[in-house]
Structure 1
Amino acid sequence: MTNGTRRKQDELPAYVPPKVGILSRIPASWVPYGELMRIDKPTGIFLFYFPHLFGTLYAGLLPGSSQGSPMDLLFTNGILFFGTVFSRAAACAWNDILDREYDRQVLRCRLRPLARGAISLTQALGFTFFMTIVCVGFISALPLDFAKAAFPSITLLVLYPLAKRFTDFPQLVLGIQIALSFFLGIIATGYDFSTFFERTNATQRNSSLIAMIFFYAANVCWTVVYDTVYAQQDVKDDAKAGVKSMAVRYRNNARGLLVAVALLQVGFLAATGFYESLGISYFSLSCGGTTSAMVWMILTLDLNSPAECMWWFKNGCWLVGLSITGGLGYANLLASGRRS
């Protein structure tokens, strides 16, 4: 760090321990670890979790589904949610370990625990390992096939921070990883894909496969949208620090990028409904709700305002997540009624 950079850093506000929220209620020595796992920023937990939830609801729509009781579904989602809390904590800690030098150059990130020196690299690595072990404990409560299928997702999660060094499309890498949770959610319910391939006729099987691929692609697009909006907060600092992202690459036409990806997302959701014959409730809630949220964001969001980008990142999570959940949930309810 140059002397000029040090002087600029010294002129910035110093770290102030949290006075409100969950971090203000825990021992001071635990606060850096709470910050490392972003326990005070739960939006990321739900963005990681929603595709799992989508998968558990979607499983009841698939050929040969014998989905259990509502309590079984609730229990499965409880395991997935709390497992997500710890997997997301491990991912955030791992991200901060690899990004610590970059974080010191980014205004919003410069006071993160590793960047400001509140904990050592060894402590951060130990914490990451502990969070991973806890997450594995939750995975062990799910079907064995879940652990096998989770390996590609975990691998991508480990590699994601490196994508910001070597490609302009880390949001796409993250989207591919997070969207895999849709398939993990299906597997978590105990749905047997061997039954799907062996006992369904070719027409039904192909239609359902196409529908699942489109739904997966819609989740990839959703992640690209919200993470690009999130990255807009740091676009100037990232460009100076050499951090690559779609926000940096398309900073002169970020709104055009968001329009294109949002259109793809809605189109993929609609195609899923068409190929899976999900009915008017799905199109109204999942497709209509997502379209409304995206149109509102694109027309009103000031991409040059970090505060507005953060507001939409937090609230867009619920607008889109609950819209898709509502459509799938209602379709699942109807399918359950037909099975009984």
Structure 2
Amino acid sequence: MSDASRVADATGNWVDSRAPQWTRPYLRLARLDRPIGSWLLLMPCWWSAALSAAMAHQIAPLPRDIALFFVGAFAMRGAGCTWNDITDRDLDAKVERTRSRPIPAGQVSVGQALTFLVLQALIGLAVLLQFNRFAVFTGIASLIIVAIYPFMKRITWWPQVVLGLAFSWGALMGFAVTFARLDAPALLLYAGSIAWVIGYDTIYAHQDAEDDALIGIKSTARLFGARTHQALVICYGLAVVLIALALLYAGAGLAAWIGLVAFAAHLIRQIRRLRIGDGALCWRLFLSNRDAGFLLFAGLLADALIRANG
């Protein structure tokens, strides 16, 4: 039986088939039907946790930090998406892919969505309070960027930069948790992650480029247009170079460098395969960035284990 309330850009998943009916609009607000964004938010958290653990030659806290970052990333991405849907409800109603999202479809009121946002934010706060004071304040500072992001697509061709600032914040958090400070490796990892986010979200935005043009929404996909491949070479190239500098300053070992090479190879493959007019392919390539993130994390985690036991 089909679900009349199913979101147009959903792909048939556990929310559509197994979740209780009354929970589905809320699960969709949090994007738990499509958790790719949570994974992409989580990757820089795990990178920084592993790299900082390697620098400290101490892996005992790492399993706890990995678990807490997992919970926090899913909670805060859900809160961010809920906020995005609240602010974009009128725009979403004009785009084919998003018009059946819970708020424009009338499945959830703005007040209900705000209450749900607060609940998710409280989960994120509960996670954050497990860390030191410096990490708590560092995490809270990210909320400013999260709050303004949904409005950027209305005023700048570079909303992906602001998304990068928000989605890469986890690259700082591992160092804040481990050292209660932010040194060069943390800042370089953060900058590299921002460049990565700009690249993959440009690919994502090509799915909506035509609709965005009709309603006046700006994006790097529309800005780059036919030059997207060249732009991705720059973005992804910067990501690899900046992360390499972070590894160099951190004194990373061979395993971390192997992870970075695998990460770079994956990004090169994305650029070579991309066809900006093929929305389905853009979606698949965007999804594949979780795998790219895992490749780098695997190398950093192996390096942390080796250095701690060396």
TM-score of the aligned structures, taking structure 1 as reference length: 0.84
State the partner residue of 1:285. Answer: 259
In 1, the alpha carbon distance for the partners of 2:194 and 2:152 equals 16
- Of 227, 233, 243, the residue aligned with 2:201 is 227
**Percent of residue pairs identical:** 27
Q: Secondary structure at the match of 1:133?
A: helix
Quick check: 1:103–1:109 contact (8 Å CA) kept in 2?
yes
- Of 67, 72, 77, the residue aligned with 1:83 is 72
Quick check: 2:89–2:103 contact (8 Å CA) kept in 1?
yes
State the partner residue of 1:28. Answer: 21
Q: How does 1:2-17 map to 2 (within 5 A)?
A: 15-17=4-6
Quick check: 1:23–1:34 contact (8 Å CA) kept in 2?
no
Quick check: 1:153–1:178 contact (8 Å CA) kept in 2?
no
Deviation of 1:212 after TM superposition, in Å, equals 3.3
State the partner residue of 1:270. Answer: 244
Q: How does 1:129-208 map to 2 (within 5 A)?
A: 129-189=118-178, 191-193=179-181
- How many residue pairs align between the two structures? 305
State the partner residue of 2:284. Answer: 311
Q: Does 1:242 align with 2:242?
A: no
Q: Does 1:67 align with 2:58?
A: yes
The structure having more radius of gyration, on CA atoms, is 1
In 2, the alpha carbon distance for the partners of 1:211 and 1:145 equals 17
Deviation of 1:89 after TM superposition, in Å, equals 0.7
Equivalent residue letter for 2:39: F
- CA deviation profile, 1:82-119 (whole Å, cap 9, x unmatched): 12111111100000001111111111111111121111
State the partner residue of 2:227. Answer: 253
Equivalent residue letter for 2:203: V
Quick check: 2:149–2:162 contact (8 Å CA) kept in 1?
yes
Q: Secondary structure at the match of 1:114?
A: coil
- CA deviation profile, 1:194-231 (whole Å, cap 9, x unmatched): xx9xxxxxxxxxxxx44433222111111111111111
Quick check: 2:270–2:285 contact (8 Å CA) kept in 1?
yes
Deviation of 1:15 after TM superposition, in Å, equals 4.2
Please list every run of 5 or more consecutive structure 1 residues that lacks an aligned counterpart in the other structure.
1-13, 197-208
In 2, the alpha carbon distance for the partners of 1:27 and 1:134 equals 22
Equivalent residue letter for 1:167: T
- How big is the alpha-carbon RMSD for the aligned residues of Structure 1 and Structure 2? 2.1
Quick check: 2:51–2:250 contact (8 Å CA) kept in 1?
no
State the partner residue of 2:84. Answer: 95
In 1, the alpha carbon distance for the partners of 2:22 and 2:281 equals 32
Quick check: 2:128–2:135 contact (8 Å CA) kept in 1?
yes
Equivalent residue letter for 1:297: Q
Equivalent residue letter for 2:85: D
Please list every run of 5 or more consecutive structure 2 residues that lacks an aligned counterpart in the other structure.
none
TM-score of the aligned structures, taking structure 2 as reference length: 0.92
Deviation of 1:151 after TM superposition, in Å, equals 2.2
Say which structure, 1 or 2, has more relative contact order (CA 8 Å, 6+ apart).
Answer: 2
- CA deviation profile, 1:119-147 (whole Å, cap 9, x unmatched): 11111111111211222122222222221
- CA deviation profile, 1:49-87 (whole Å, cap 9, x unmatched): 11111111111233xx26252xx3112211111121111
Deviation of 1:20 after TM superposition, in Å, equals 4.7
In 1, the alpha carbon distance for the partners of 2:23 and 2:185 equals 45
Equivalent residue letter for 1:298: I
